[in-house]
Structure 1
Amino acid sequence: MRLIKRGLASLAALGSLALLSGYLHLPPSVEAQLSARDYQTEARHYDVEILRDNWGVPHIYGDTDADAAFGLAYAHAEDDFATIQNVILATRGQLAAEKGFAAAKTDYLVQWMGVWPAVERGYQRLSSDARAVAEAYAAGLNLYAVHHPDEVSRYLLPVRGEDLVAGFTFKTPMFYGFDKVLGELLDPDAPHELAKAGESALTWGPQQSLPVGSQGIAVAPHRSSDGATRLLVNSHQPLTGPVAWYEARIHSNAGWNMAGATFPGAPAIIHGHNEYLGWANTVNKPDLVDIYKLEIHPDDPDRYLLDGEWHELEKRQAQITVKLFGPLHWTVNREVLIAEHGPVFRTNHGTYAVRWAGMGEVRTLDFMLALNKATNKEAFEAALKMQAMPSINYVYADREGNIGHYYNAMFPQRINGWDWQKYLPGDRSELIWHGYRDFQWMPKTLNPLSGLVYNANNPPFQATDGDDDAWVEDFPQSMGIEQVVTNRALQIEALYGAQDKISASDFERLKYDNAYHPNSYQVRTLQHWLSMPKPEALQSEKYQAALRQLSEWALTTDRADTTAALAILTLEPVQRAGGELANPDEVDQAFKSAVDRLHHFYGGTEVPYGQINRHVRGEHSWPLSGGPDTVRAVYGGPLNDSGKFENRAGDSYIMLVEWARDGSVSSRAVHNFGSATLDQRSPHYADQAELFVGETLRDVYFARDELLDNLSRRYRPNRLD
């Protein structure tokens, strides 16, 4: 999964908001907001106790689901209020009011996407339970703000339930690459080729591209050496920020009993387990965005052609407030245009309308709560059938021994005969799809004979080490199913598939594999490059010795490997090429730079990888194994001014779940840093970092009596006044 802001930064075609008409003003006064007494009164409606274990992880106990959501919000705010606040401001389209002009593009995108009109239309159609959970979570944040007023933006209060629902509407399309597609549309140098009738995309093949994160693995009882069912939850995320994992346990007397991890501003556990079942999420990237080139009337730029008739573009205003300096703010208005297809961008290479899976979707919280409270495979699948999550793979396991991989996505009901990955003519209404394919069309692998399922951001046609996964021929090209095969997928199938019976120790040990598969895109490209003639600049003995060293690389990223750093630096343009043929000149330059910099910092290229690859938290730094697109995923680099890689993404929250033969559940986990995301004074700011580096998991206290023996703090947030 990638950071949302990375794609938004490419929306350069929005232009300078400062040049638009607007007005200068001061921010709203605190007196205009609700009083602290109002928020305290609201908080007294909730009965919740927070028990923090000896790792600082909050275990939330409430009578109702709403009580538990209130406690989750308060506990998470204690550990990372600043990030939650920024997430909510971004979701509202108000981040620039707090952060300045750099955030204005995000604010415009929220309004361009129509997030808030969708929430206003759909909020009351959510279940009463989901609305109660969202509003309780908001109340928990409001109470924290009362207790810590110095941390609160003038633009935040009051937080409302709609804010949390809108967060899903805005963010979930980013996980399948919506931001990247818009960035390419607005890039004047990118190709903008129009599709033609009868032109279809290529069929699926074992291609590879830039690795993206996450993996999940499940093993059925008949494949385990001890008859247990096991699940690996191993998403790869940034280690800090708006989509970094936060661990929590939620328990209500209404049947909510989840342990796992969530994101800032999300009022449910996103992946983990309850006593009955569990799941791991990985990003999938089917083609779920369609771009239509509109034919604009030659004399009226606000009219477009559709089925031979001219139609008027609808208009609404996006209002964006930007912090300038000190207390001064500038509010501007920008027009948003809307065609029947969806919202519109005018560019210097044409006018385009955009339609995407999940546009206007507000039911995601209902979906998440249904997953959290599912008690069997049928209930889990019933949640998936809601089609309220635009994308994301689910690797599933339960105490009955069922395992599965679901390639979940909201697949548009597109007509066949077109290459939907190209831009489409905007004058044909039959290309404007309405609705999504039924659950039966979701590629899935359930209870395979081999007893193993996995996903590592690879296509759904490779989900087990047997032959009973989904078949590419059964799915039309118009579904746009991705083609990427990652190194991690190759390694998982090779390593786990080689075990006739997978023991508990093997299941955990193999997760930390840090090697590249000989057939991986990276290794094949490196070997081909090594066989090519080298330019004059690489003929000296320094570079020739490094080439010989690379040719003997053991393909590992172990911290003791003395060639891994040279290899990772050389492969950087190969990874960046995203499955396309890397430019050999760029690889030459990356190699030369790697040799030069390693000599500069270390006097040579044979350097133990752990001396360079570092896990950093505050003033502490640890040597670390792992690299890009290895099962032990670590994304650092490039070399900083001290000649180090600093781990920034990849393996973060890791959980291993086990259901024994008798159906009892237990789990172990580790966070990349600790529960205290921002507070360097907390003992939990970095208390799990050494476990993480040492590839060790700790117990999750799922049973209350076990938790009570390992407490660090116990309190009721609405009684702290």
Structure 2
Amino acid sequence: MIKRLSAGLVAVGLLAVLVGYLHLPPAIEVQLSERNYVAEATDFSVEILRDNWGVPHIYGETDADAAFGLAYAHAEDDFATIQDVILATRGQLAAEKGPAAAKTDYLVQWMGIWPAIASGYQQLSEKARAVAEAYAAGLNLYAAHHPQQVSRYLLPVRGEDLVAGFTFKTPMFYGFDKVLGELLDNEAPHEVAKAGDSPLAWLPRQSLPVGSQGIAVAPHRSSDGATRLLVNSHQPLSGPVAWYEARVHSLEGWNMAGATFPGAPVIIHGHNEHLGWANTVNKPDLVDIYKLEIHPENPDQYLLDGEWHALEKRQATITVKLWGPLHWTVKRDVLIAEHGPALRTEHGTYAVRWAGMGEVRTLDFMLALNKATSKVEFEAALKMQAMPSINYVYADREGNIGHYYNAMFPLRVDGWDWQKYLPGDRSELIWRDYLDFQWMPKTLNPDSGLVYNANNPPFQATDGDDDAWAEDFPQSMGVESVVTNRALQIEALYGAQEAISPEDFVRLKYDNAYHPDSYQVRTLRRWLAAAKPAALQDRKYQAALQQFSTWDLSTDQQNTSAALAVMTLEPVQRARRALPDFDEIDRAFKSAVDRLHEFYGSTAVPYGEINRHVRGEHSWPLNGGPDTLRAVYGGPLNDNGKFTNKAGDSFIMLVEWDSDGRVSSRAVHNFGSATLDDRSPHFADQAELFVREELREVYFERKALINNLSRRYRPNRLD
């Protein structure tokens, strides 16, 4: 999570033993004897039908029944990750993982996740609480069936755990953890804004995510009158935010196919029979940091509106695994100002306020999206303002398409540069509310019939001229300004098609080239034209430079310059639009040449020899690279001279409503439904499809599913 913490926070996990106590955690056998989780699960009416790819299709009578089945199915495929997610959300991960996880545990408690849940859980709808508690019951039943896999700190899983997961994790998608890390970096600048400061241009505080894209095409732009949606989020291929595919169906109107994250009791993006959406990460400025003026004689008081106020305190309790069954529990104070939780650093004391602070309604919001049947109902969910950030690219059976730059934008006063740190002694700078839905930048049913997002600004959302205009929105929203290579390619490739055919829609998604006007290529051209240092005058470097100058900008697996290009461009990708020093690129280029010669004796190596998709003992050559539409993030070279694909394209879904409004979809997962079990036939059964850039049918209709089953069972009837 946070890369750098103050010495005091690191001490939480490592050195604060003087205020702790040694103990043994309770045995699993004792915990299981205290409650009969099998008996508690008998009331759920659910059946799991796994298709021939192992994908679970959950059929429940009620929404709660379906959530129960979703939890059990996901646990069968990835219980270890779900367990880690729940322990992290509770601030108990160090109890299982040891001192390295203590920083995450402290962050959870510093953010006030559990006080927010304690005061807000009952404010959730009865339906949302029933879904959360049913999902928890599904995990508890799996734990009872597989006690050897269960942490001593897990049971019982409760509905509150799943709701808290949204409260904790959603701010991380817009970079909250990285902003906090900057605050705790003693070498970073910490300039405090002054009244009247006005930023000339907004620069992101940190790099954007590795990527995502969503594209929607309206009937009048399609060659066959269909509406199409591409769901193509780029995530790590494994771990707590890796996609898991599922279908959820209840008799109460829940009917979603798509993907979710470990520990999430809903489908996060995908489609129902009426509509669908793709998510991409956005990063407006949603965090404010206030420098507090501390009383010179009392470090527990701060100045606000001319008066000294006491910092409130609550206690963080962190349990750390030492060795074997021995654990140590440590207690630390959390400081709280009027603005939010505070931190003491070497350069001052700061309080922090962020969008989604204490937000507990996200599950209600997600359920409303999952069960929406029209654009009106979809927008009604967005108007709840219960999701701190995330773009939505939307399409429906009526032919509506749209891009929503969703975020909870703080309602800030004018006249300040909100990208800087704020003075903590003025209460008018402590915002209390968010801008209304009307201020959300959006592009709906554009004349061109195409909308997209690839982590680019919302003011570039279609290949026409009727997207949102930056001038219509306040600078205090801090909308990002980076235009990704993927955005340029989408507009150039899809925009060049007067009528987009079904084949074009898929083919163009797998484009693996860089646009000539991308920041990567523009930087590369300037670097190639610049004088080179003495270290690069050797014959092999000059030959590589000549080779590089003829690169055709593709990352196809047959391309013999792509490996050299991807390795050289690494500091450019990392810097985004902020131009790195040419000496950084020089070093990356020299290292690339040296490493390629070390492993292959040449820099002219087919990219597929290096760029590999790996699952277990299998390895396949792969097209694609960073910030291409065929997104692959695999560097640096490993000890075998290979890139191992780690992130980027993962779960991909293409949804189509034909001219009569009938829905169908195709999808592929980067590996398969069996996340951890290498003995399962579904551990890697989709990997070759993924590499060949092919999609398989999603069995949305029950009749098609029944004809393609691999297993059918009721999890609470296994005994």
Do structure 1's residue 530 and structure 2's residue 528 form an aligned pair?
A: yes
Distance 2:228 2:346 in 1: 54
Instruction: Write the mapping of 1:346-495 to structure 2, written as runs, cut at 5 A.
Output: 346-495=344-493
- The CA distance in 2 between the partners of 1:432 and 1:32, in whole Å, is 48
Aligned residue runs from structure 1 range 498-509, under 5 A:
498-509=496-507
Q: How does 1:149-168 map to 2 (within 5 A)?
A: 149-168=147-166
Answering whether residue 589 of structure 2 is matched by residue 591 of structure 1, we say: yes
Q: Is the 8 A contact 1:406 1:442 kept in 2?
A: yes
Deviation of residue 201 (structure 1)?
Answer: 2.1
- Could you list the per-position Cα deviations for residues 652-685 of structure 1 after superposition, in whole angstroms to 9, with x for gaps in the alignment? 0000000000000000000000000000000000
Counterpart position of 1:716: 714
Partner of 1:16: 11
1:196-248 Cα distance to aligned partner (Å, 9 max, x none): 11112234699996663100000000000000000000000000000000000
Letter paired with 2:4: S
| Alignment partner, residue 145 of structure 1 | 143
Q: Is the 8 A contact 2:208 2:283 kept in 1?
A: no
**CA distance in structure 2 between the aligned counterparts of 1:213 and 1:301, rounded to whole angstroms:** 43
Describe the SS at the equivalent of 2:699.
Answer: coil
Distance 1:205 1:319, change over 3 A: closer
- Structure 1 residue 123: Cα displacement: 0.4
Three-state SS of the structure 2 residue aligned to 1:16 is helix
- CA–CA distance in structure 1, aligned partners of residues 205 and 358 of structure 2: 33
TM-score (normalizing by structure 2): 0.98
Shift in Å, 1:28: 2.2
Name which of 552, 555, 574 aligns with 1:554.
552
> For residues 53-100 of structure 1, what are the alpha-carbon distances to aligned partners after superposition, in whole Å with 9 as ceiling and x for unaligned?
000000000000000000000000000000000000000000000000
The SS at the match of 1:15 is: helix
- Are the structure 2 counterparts of residues 623 and 324 from structure 1 closer, same or farther at C-alpha, using a change threshold of 3 Å? same
CA contact (8 A) 2:6 2:345 kept: no
In 1, Cα distance between the equivalents of 2:577 and 2:355?
25
Secondary structure in 1 aligned to 2:335? strand
* Residues 280 and 392 in structure 2, CA contact (< 8 A), matched pair in contact too: yes
- Once the two structures are superposed, residues 340-366 of structure 1 have per-residue CA deviations (whole angstroms, 9 ceiling, x without a partner) of 000000001000000000000000000
**C-alpha distance after superposition, 1:610-650 (max 9, x if no partner):** 00000000000000000000000000010000000000000
Q: Residue type matched to 1:11 in 2?
A: L
Matches for 1:206-225 after TM superposition, within 5 Å? 212-225=210-223
Aligned to 1:421, the other structure's residue is in SS state coil
1:605 to 595, 603, 606: 603
Deviation readout 1:554-584 (Å, 9 max, x if unpaired): 0000000000000001111111123212111
Matching residue of 2:248: 250
What SS does structure 2 have at the residue aligned with 1:248? strand
Looking at structure 1, the residues matched to 201 and 28 of structure 2 have their Cα atoms a distance apart, in angstroms, of 58
**CA–CA separation in structure 1 for the residues paired with 2:700 and 2:401:** 22
**Counterpart in 2 of 1:105?**
103
Of residues 562, 565, 576, the one that matches 1:564 is: 562
Deviation of 1:30 (Å): 3.3
Equivalent residues of 1:59, 1:249 under 8 A apart: yes
* Per-residue deviation, 1:35: 2.9
Q: Compared with structure 1, are the counterparts of its residues 408 and 608 closer, same or farther at alpha carbon in structure 2 (3 Å cutoff)?
A: same
Which letter maps to 2:562?
Answer: A
Pair 1:80-2:78 in alignment: yes
Per-residue CA deviation, residues 91-139 of structure 1 (Å, 9 max, x unaligned), is 0000000000000000000000000000000000100000000000000
Alignment check: 8 A CA contact 1:282 1:456 kept: yes
Alpha carbons 2:54, 2:674 under 8 Å: kept = yes
Aligned to 1:309: 307
SS across alignment from 2:278: strand
Aligned residue number for residue 167 of structure 2: 169
Q: How far, CA to CA, are the matches of 1:558 and 1:582 in structure 2?
A: 26
Q: Distance in 2 between matches of 1:210 and 1:81?
A: 30
Aligned letter for 1:533? A
Conserved 8 A contact 1:221-1:229: yes
Task: Report what 2:624 is aligned to.
Answer: 626
User: Counterpart of 2:233 in structure 1: which amino acid?
Assistant: S
Letter aligned with residue 19 of structure 1: L
Match for 1:617 among 604, 612, 615?
Answer: 615
Q: From the superposition, tell whether residues 601 and 210 of structure 1 become closer, same or farther in structure 2 (CA, over 3 Å).
A: farther
Report SS of the residue matched to 1:157.
coil
1:647 to 645, 650, 670: 645
- Amino acid aligned to 1:185: L
Distance, in Å, in 2 between the alignment partners of 1:41 and 1:65 is: 20
* Secondary structure in structure 2 of the residue aligned to 1:575: helix
Q: Is the 8 A contact 2:209 2:281 kept in 1?
A: no
Larger mean CA deviation between 592-601 and 196-205 belongs to 196-205
* Partner Cα separation in structure 2 for residue 48 and residue 206 of structure 1: 46
- SS for the counterpart of 1:196 is coil
Contact 1:208 1:485 in 2 (8 A): no
Question: 1:695-714, aligned counterparts within 5 Å?
Answer: 695-714=693-712
Give the conservation status (yes or no) of the 8 Å contact 2:204–2:480: no
2:55 maps to which residue?
Answer: 57
Query: In structure 2, how many angstroms separate the alpha carbons of the residues matched to 1:209 and 1:39?
Result: 45
Aligned pairs (5 A) from 1:226-237: 226-237=224-235
**Aligned twin of 1:665:** 663
Task: Provide the secondary structure at the position in 2 that maps to 1:33.
Answer: helix
Aligned residues: 715
Aligned equivalent of 2:338: 340
Following the alignment from structure 2 to structure 1, what is the Cα–Cα distance between the partners of residues 151 and 707? 39
What's the CA shift for 1:33? 2.4
Whether the 8 Å CA contact 1:36–1:146 is kept in 2: the answer is: no
Specify the alignment match of 2:579 in structure 1: 581
Structure 2 CA distance, aligned partners of 1:719 and 1:205? 56
Q: Distance in 2 between matches of 1:310 and 1:680?
A: 61
Cα distance in 1, alignment partners of residues 369 and 432 from structure 2: 26
CA contact (8 A) 2:32 2:144 kept: no
Match of 2:197 in 1: 199
Q: Could you tell me how far apart the structure 2 residues matched to 1:19 and 1:539 are?
A: 51
Post-superposition offset of 1:437 = 0.6
Query: AA paired with 2:512?
Result: N
Question: Once structures 1 and 2 are overlaid, which stretch shifts more, 198-207 or 60-69?
Answer: 198-207
What is the Cα deviation at residue 331 of structure 1?
0.5
- Percent identity, aligned pairs only, is 82
Retained in 2: the 8 A contact 1:211–1:629? no
Work out whether residues 202 and 478 of structure 2, in 8 Å CA contact, stay in contact via their aligned partners in 1: no
Distance 2:204 2:128 in 1: 41
* Secondary structure class of the residue paired with 2:36: helix
Kindly indicate whether the alpha-carbon contact (under 8 Å) linking 2:67 and 2:131 is maintained by their aligned counterparts in 1: yes
Q: Do the aligned partners of 1:228 and 1:658 also contact (CA within 8 Å) in 2?
A: yes
TM, length-normalised to structure 1: 0.98
How far apart, in 1, do the equivalents of 2:170 and 2:146 lie?
Answer: 30
Conserved? CA contact 1:211–1:486, under 8 Å: no
